[in-house]
A and B are shown apart, each in its own frame.
Chain A
Amino acid sequence: MTTLSKRGPAAVFLLPALVIYSAIVVLPIAQAAWLSLTEWNGVSAATWVGFANYVEVFQDGVFLKSLVNNVVYILVVMATQIGAGLILAILVSYLQRSRDLVRTLYFIPAVITVVAIAQLFRSIYSYEPVGLLNKVLLGLGLKPVPWLSNYQTALPAVSFVEGWQFIGIYLIIFYSALIAVPKDIVEAAQIDGAVDLKLLFRIKLPYIRNVIGLSLILSLVGALRGFAVPLLLTRGGPGSQTEILATYMYKKAFQSIKLGYGSAVAVIIAVISFAGVILIQRSTRSEED
């Protein structure tokens, strides 16, 4: 105990992890930050342009549209993951049997590759050939919808996929928190006359509010890293309706061969994500206080 409380040994134990973290996280961010101050096509030498890329980015209508789209994307992802995860966790906690089976089934999408998930939903959303969702609409006597091509539905449809994939993770988190609510508190509330819904809203949910808060932040940071689903389903289209920051960064860097400009967008994403991390730290510190 006294050994680990000393600075020297603590530093020695932390050093290997810090080296690896620096090499794979800090260094690429630093390289991207340097690249963002240049114009580079990946072939000839990079040309220093200072902050010109950033000036261009903030005047770029498509970038600003991507930023707004990203906010919508995050909101839909978070609502799906946290909302559905919490509701399902509550329902599972009331199940008398097969809880493990249900939890496992909901967790399966989280471990399936995103390419398979995207292909699955491409088929589900398909207009022609008629996909599952449109078959349901036709069965209900409604008109089919080109979910991924319609300007109004494309972004929510794409966002839902990312949200859906990780519902299982938040189901597990919330379920674990709900069953950890102390039984004596629950029994005391029941003695005072609290029944199911009151027990849920007045006792259990307030008790796990820290977990809900942390999950909100984790979901936010995860949604900020969204990329594969919109790229695979719509490539940011139709028009720029499903373009989010990460897909725009990718297009600028690798399709438009403007690696400096793409790096500027990447740095902006990193700054926004870093702000999310600060939020986590402040939230957990205020709880400790």
Chain B
Amino acid sequence: MKRGLGLTVIVAMALAVAVAAIPLWASGTNESGAQSGPKTITYFTSKPPTDNVVIAIQKVAAAYKAEGHNVDLVVDTAADRPAYVQKLRTLVAGNQMPELFDLDADPYAAQLGSAGKLVDMAQYLKKIGVYDTYIKNAIEYQRLPDGRIFSFPNQFVTEMTWYNVDIFNKYNLKAPKTFDEWLQVCKTLAANGVTPIAIDGMDGWPLMRYIAMVPFRLSGNNYITDLSTGKAKMSDPIGMAGVNFVAQMGKYFQTGFSSTDYTTAKNLFLGGKAAMYEIGTWELTNFISANLPAGLKVDYFYMPTTANAVTKPNEYWAFGGIGIAAAKDKFDAQTEAFTTYLIKHYDAVYLKLQQYPPTKFTISDPSAFDPLFIRVQKDQAQYGDLACKPWDVLLPADVNSTMADNLVALALGKVTPDDFARVIDQSLAQNLKK
């Protein structure tokens, strides 16, 4: 009985390997024959269906179809950014890239580009004559450190810290202009039992905003560029300035911030439970008067500065948001035609949603827009030359992951700044040696 069953197991395994290998044999063949029915183009995004970028893209796709083009756009969304990243990487590893998808200009994009999997977006945008229409910081945000561009922007974003005007007035506080003033504002609020800052501690990137601010003021993007290439260390003075800032600010985040998600953090501020909230203009519609909760008055300030700053006060967070990339092997004539139409018609639709498109625009009728929208747009028009690069698009993925986990511990006071810097330097050394 045992010999027979042993043979059965071997035969079963051999059959299983053969069956499992069938998709590999078949993967080299292309689908042939004329396609009947509409062409389906999938746009895979990390944004929720209610995001204005998604809404605008769907409106443009509907208009494209109404013009007689037999194309259906399927928008596939993920629950959150980490889930999106995991699914995208799985799709890529399984040769299942969607036609269009969100992609940051990070080391992973560089790997995909080097593997020939992405459309050269700089070339494509120039070919269709729109490259020069982009706002400089919007298109530059899509540029990799080596100069290549593999994604086109779908928004122009600036980030600021929103604050509760009534709470500030109650304690005679003014919008801080320096980091020291900011810490003092937080200290005053905390002493009076007010939660100074609401933050999403689950997603990693909001905390990474805080560690990036002081180094940007002290060095522009030079420090983070050097850090990401191994020429600088986290334990260098500029890095430690950022680390110490997080260690100090961490005391002023809401209790339980490490398990607070994006929506809960936003609602903490909008519900009047926290005095400040750092977020970008993609959430502007929450702050216009018509949408603010009753009794809530808000204002904002941009990234404070410090002594010895090499960047100007009108230089802070300004970028094109997570761009959209196109899979090269799926960029056939129909997909290219649709993408061209999308790029050329998207901005007008997006602007009507009271959002800032990535191309240069003028507003012919300001009365059609909320005063807050106009005010921020004027700020954007006076923006300086340099934009702070988010650290999570420059650092290797493994370092990002290590930093995100340890930033929580640093902000909670569970690790010292020196220990934090040591762990990050170790992670950088491991990941940059290869």
Contacts and interface: CB of A to CB of B under 8 A. Distances in A.
Contact of B259 (A43, A234, A243): A234
Contacts of B398: 252, 256-258
Contact of B86 (A19, A20, A126, A254): A254
B401 A148 contact: no
B259 A233 contact: yes
B93 interface: yes
Contact of A122 (B3, B20, B82, B259): B259
Interface in A193-220: none
Contacts of B258: 148-149, 234, 237-238
Contact of B12 (A19, A252, A258): A19
Q: Which of B12, B86, B111 gathers the greatest number of chain A CB atoms within 10 Å?
A: B12
A81 B17 CA distance: 38
A3 B333 CA distance: 63
Contact of A128 (B93, B256, B400): B256
A23 interface: yes
Contacts of A151: 412, 414
Interface string A229-244: 0000111111110010
Contact of A19 (B19, B397, B405): B19
B92 A42 contact: yes
B92 A235 contact: no
Contacts of B311: none
B259 A254 contact: no
B19 to A, nearest CB: 6
B1 interface: yes
Interface string A123-152: 001111100000000000000001011010
B111 A41 contact: yes
Contacts of A254: 85-86, 89-90
B4 A15 contact: no
A2 interface: no
B414 A19 contact: no
Nearest to B2: A7
Contacts of B254: 128
Contacts of A181: none
B108 interface: yes
A9 to B, nearest CB: 10
A19 B114 CA distance: 39
Given A236-B405, A237-B408, A239-B409, A7 B1 contact: yes
A151 B412 CA distance: 9
Contacts of B92: 42-43
Contacts of A237: 201-202, 258-259, 405, 408
Contacts, number: 142
Contacts of B268: 128
B78 to A, nearest CB: 12
B167 to A, nearest CB: 16
Contact of B401 (A126, A234, A251): A251
B397 A148 contact: no
A128 B19 contact: no
Nearest to B14: A22
Interface residues of A, number: 49
A162 B13 CA distance: 34
A252 B396 CA distance: 12
A22 B10 CA distance: 10
Contact of A255 (B9, B11, B271, B397): B397
A22 B117 CA distance: 33
Interface in B16-35: 16-17, 19-20
Contacts of A278: none
Nearest to A23: B16
A19 B3 CA distance: 18
Contacts of A235: 82, 202
A26 interface: yes
B15 interface: yes
A259 interface: yes
Contact of A18 (B12, B111, B115, B405): B12
29 contacts: A10-B5, A11-B4, A14-B8, A15-B8, A23-B16, A26-B13, A27-B16, A42-B90, A42-B93, A43-B92, A43-B111, A44-B111, A125-B259, A127-B255, A128-B273, A146-B256, A148-B258, A149-B255, A149-B259, A151-B412, A154-B259, A233-B259, A234-B259, A238-B259, A238-B408, A239-B406, A251-B401, A256-B400, A257-B108
Interface of A: 7-8, 10-11, 14-15, 18-23, 26-27, 39, 41-44, 62, 122, 125-129, 146, 148-149, 151, 154, 233-240, 243, 250-252, 254-259
Given A238-B258, A239-B405, A257-B397, 14 more contacts: A15-B12, A19-B16, A19-B19, A43-B112, A128-B195, A146-B256, A149-B259, A151-B414, A237-B202, A239-B409, A254-B85, A254-B89, A255-B85, A256-B398
